[in-house]
C-alpha cells in the first residue's frame, strides 16, 4: 500500500515504513532491527541513555519543544515511589495528524520508545493515552502490544535482562484538554480531564501522585533511532538548537497535503511549492498557520523567509508548535477561519479559569457578530484587550491559544475585519 504523497526531499527516519502494513507485525519489526535499541539501552544503563538523548538535542514534539533528555533527568535517580511514563497520544490540535500515523503504521517503534524512556526514568509502568476517537489506531496498537508481550519485549524480565516494564493502552474521553499533560493525568486517574496548577511539576507529583514524565508519540518514536545510532548521528539533520527530523502535517490549499518528514529548518516556501506541489489551482498564498491552530498566523510576506525550526518560526512571528502547517490561499476568509478556531477553543475550554471560560465564549460572540455584519470598530480593540487579559493568566495555555489567532489576524488582516464591519452585509454563519 503506497503512502499518499511522498517527496524525495524527505528524510524518512520515523516515517520510513508509512504505508507498509507488514511493519505492524512484531516479527517484521524485529527482522528489520526492531527491539535492538531496547537491548542496547539496557546494556548502556539509565544515565547513559539519558545522556545520549540529551546529546541528540531531541526536543519534545508535543508542541512546547522542551528537551526530552533534560526532562527525563528531572526524575528522581533513586526511586522511593513508583515512577510512571505517560505517552501522550491524545492528538487533537486542529491541523495535526502525525501521531495517529506513527501509531497506525509503526506501533512497535512507539512501544520501543516507550520502553526505553520508561527504563531511563526508572518506571516500571507506562501508559499510552490514546485519543478517544482513534478507534482503528487503538486496535492496531493494542494488537502490537499484545504481540510484544507474547514475544517477551514487554512485561517481566524483558529479553532476560531482569528489567520489568508494563504498558497499558488507555483510551481517553475524547476531549482536547486531556492532551494537556496534567489534564491527561487527571483523566487517566478517572477524574475530570482538567489541568492542574503547576508547580508541583509532574516529575515530582504526577500521575497517581507519583513522579511522572509525559512525552509525545513522535518524541518517543525518535528515541530508538537515537539509542541505536547515537546523539551525534541525529544531529546530522536540523539546526544546532533544533536538531533532527520532524513530521510536518500539511493541510489546506496545496496540491499534495499530507505528512512529510523533513529536517528541521526546512524552508516553509519549499515545503509549499516543492514538497507539496505548490498552491492548489495556482492561487496566491495569503497566510499560513505554521504550528497548529493555537499559534499566530503568518502573512505571505512573513512566510517568504521562514525556516521551519523552533527559532526560525519564532523569528518569523509565530511558533513551530507541533508543526501542523495550515496553508490558506488568497480566497480564504480569515475572519471566518479565526471564528472557527475560537469556536473550537470555546467548546474545549474546561471551564476552570474565568478568563478562558468567559473570554473564549465572549470572543466567539463578537466574532460571530462581526461576521454577520453587526460588528463595530470598537469590537476589534475589545478583542485585543480581551486577548491580553486571557494570555498568561490561566492554569494552562489553552486560553492563550484563543488570543493568538485573534491578535495576529487583527494585526495582519485588519482590512478584512473592517470590510465586514463596514459593509454589514453578511448574514448567518456556516
List of residues contacting ligand SF4 (CB under 6 A): 177, 195, 349-353, 356-357, 394-396, 398-399
Kindly state the smallest distance separating residue 259's Cβ from ligand SF4, in Å: 27
Nearest 5°: the CA angle 165, 170, 176 is: 130
* 162 contacts: CB under 8 Å, gap ≥ 6: none
For CA atoms 385, 387, 392, 395, the dihedral sign is positive
351 touches, from ligand SF4, ligand FMN, none (C-beta below 5 to 8 Å by class): ligand SF4
Q: CA–CA separation, 211 vs 205, rounded Å? A: 5
Question: Does residue 214 bind ligand FMN (CB under 6 A)?
Answer: yes
91 touches, from ligand SF4, ligand FMN, none (C-beta below 5 to 8 Å by class): ligand FMN
- Of 40 and 357, CB closest to ligand SF4: 357
Site for ligand FMN in 290-349 (CB under 6 A): none
Cell numbers that stand for 199 in this block: 508547580
Kindly state the smallest distance separating residue 188's Cβ from ligand SF4, in Å: 17
Question: Does residue 212 bind ligand FMN (CB under 6 A)?
Answer: no
Question: Does residue 226 bind ligand FMN (CB under 6 A)?
Answer: no
Q: CA–CA separation, 396 vs 33, rounded Å? A: 40
- Of 13 and 275, CB closest to ligand FMN: 13
Residues 293/405, Cβ–Cβ less than 8 Å: yes
Kindly state the smallest distance separating residue 91's Cβ from ligand FMN, in Å: 5
Among 75, 328, 396, 407, binds ligand FMN (CB under 6 A): 396
Residues 82/313, Cβ–Cβ less than 8 Å: no
Size, binding site for ligand FMN by CB under 6 A: 23
Distance in angstroms between the alpha carbons of the first and the last residue of the chain: 37
418 touches, from ligand SF4, ligand FMN, none (C-beta below 5 to 8 Å by class): none
Kindly state the smallest distance separating residue 135's Cβ from ligand SF4, in Å: 25
Question: Does residue 193 bind ligand FMN (CB under 6 A)?
Answer: no
341 touches, from ligand FMN, ligand SF4, none (C-beta below 5 to 8 Å by class): none
Question: Does residue 90 bind ligand FMN (CB under 6 A)?
Answer: yes
Question: Does residue 215 bind ligand FMN (CB under 6 A)?
Answer: yes
Question: Does residue 181 bind ligand FMN (CB under 6 A)?
Answer: yes
Stretch that binds ligand FMN, among 36-44, 141-149, 214-222, 300-308 (CB under 6 A): 214-222
Among 52, 91, 101, 299, binds ligand FMN (CB under 6 A): 91
DSSP 165: B
Among 72, 120, 50, 82, residue whose Cα is nearest residue 205 = 82
Site for ligand FMN in 69-88 (CB under 6 A): 71, 88
For CA atoms 350, 351, 355, 361, the dihedral sign is positive
Where do we find the cell 498568561?
Answer: 392
Q: CA–CA separation, 362 vs 383, rounded Å? A: 9
Kindly state the smallest distance separating residue 150's Cβ from ligand FMN, in Å: 28
Nearest 5°: the CA angle 292, 295, 300 is: 90
Q: Is 169 exposed, middle or buried (0-12, 13-18, 19+ CB in 10 A)?
A: buried
Q: CA–CA separation, 191 vs 188, rounded Å? A: 7
Among 226, 229, 85, residue whose Cα is nearest residue 166 = 85
- Which parts of this chain interact with ligand FMN (CB under 6 A)? 60-64, 66, 71, 88, 90-93, 177, 179-181, 214-216, 219, 396-398
Amino acid at each position: 500500500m503506497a503512502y499518499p504523497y511522498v517527496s524525495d526531499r524527505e528524510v524518512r527516519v520515523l516515517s520510513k515504513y508509512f504505508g507498509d502494513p507488514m511493519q505492524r507485525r512484531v516479527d517484521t519489526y524485529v527482522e528489520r532491527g526492531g527491539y535492538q535499541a531496547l537491548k542496547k539501552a539496557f546494556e548502556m544503563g539509565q544515565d547513559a541513555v539519558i545522556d545520549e538523548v540529551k546529546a541528540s538535542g531531541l526536543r519534545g514534539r508535543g508542541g512546547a519543544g522542551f528537551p526530552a533528555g533534560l526532562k527525563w533527568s528531572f526524575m528522581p535517580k533513586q526511586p522511593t515511589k513508583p515512577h510512571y511514563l505517560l505517552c501522550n497520544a491524545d492528538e487533537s490540535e486542529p491541523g495535526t495528524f502525525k501521531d495517529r500515523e506513527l501509531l497506525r503504521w509503526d506501533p512497535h517503534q512507539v512501544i520501543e520508545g516507550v520502553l526505553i524512556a520508561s527504563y531511563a526514568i526508572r518506571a516500571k509502568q507506562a501508559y499510552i493515552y490514546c485519543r478517544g476517537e482513534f478507534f482503528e489506531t487503538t486496535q492496531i496498537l493494542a494488537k502490537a502490544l499484545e504481540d510484544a508481550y507474547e514475544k517477551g519485549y514487554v512485561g517481566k524480565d524483558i529479553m532476560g535482562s531482569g528489567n520489568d516494564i508494563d504498558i497499558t493502552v488507555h483510551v481517553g474521553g475524547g476531549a482536547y484538554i486531556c492532551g494537556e499533560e496534567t489534564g491527561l493525568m487527571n483523566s487517566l486517574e478517572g477524574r475530570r480531564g482538567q489541568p492542574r496548577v503547576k508547580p508541583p511539576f509532574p516529575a515530582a507529583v504526577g500521575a497517581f501522585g507519583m513522579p511522572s514524565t509525559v512525552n509525545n508519540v513522535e518524541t518517543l518514536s525518535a528515541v530508538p533511532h537515537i539509542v541505536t545510532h547515537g546523539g551525534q548521528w541525529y544531529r546530522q539533520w536540523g539546526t544546532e538548537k533544533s536538531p533532527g527530523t520532524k513530521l510536518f502535517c500539511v493541510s489546506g490549499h496545496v496540491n499534495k497535503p499530507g505528512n512529510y518528514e523533513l529536517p528541521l529548518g526546512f524552508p516553509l516556501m519549499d515545503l509549499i511549492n516543492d514538497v507539496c506541489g505548490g498552491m492548489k489551482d495556482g492561487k496566491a498564498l495569503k497566510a499560513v498557520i505554521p504550528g497548529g491552530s493555537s499559534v499566530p498566523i503568518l502573512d505571505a510576506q512573513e512566510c517568504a523567509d521562514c525556516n521551519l525550526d523552533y527559532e526560525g518560526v519564532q523569528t518569523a512571528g509565530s511558533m513551530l508548535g507541533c508543526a501542523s502547517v495550515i496553508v490558506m490561499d488568497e480566497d480564504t476568509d480569515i475572519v471566518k477561519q479565526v471564528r472557527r478556531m475560537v469556536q473550537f477553543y470555546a467548546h474545549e475550554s474546561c471551564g476552570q479559569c474565568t478568563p478562558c471560560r468567559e473570554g473564549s465564549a465572549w470572543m466567539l460572540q463578537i466574532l460571530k457578530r462581526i461576521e454577520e455584519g453587526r460588528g463595530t470598530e470598537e469590537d476589534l480593540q475589545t478583542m485585543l484587550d480581551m486577548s491580553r487579559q486571557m494570555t498568561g493568566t490561566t492554569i494552562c495555555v489553552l486560553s492563550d491559544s484563543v488570543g493568538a489567532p485573534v491578535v495576529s489576524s487583527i494585526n495582519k488582516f485588519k482590512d478584512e475585519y473592517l470590510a465586514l464591519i463596514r459593509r454589514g452585509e453578511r448574514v448567518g454563519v456556516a
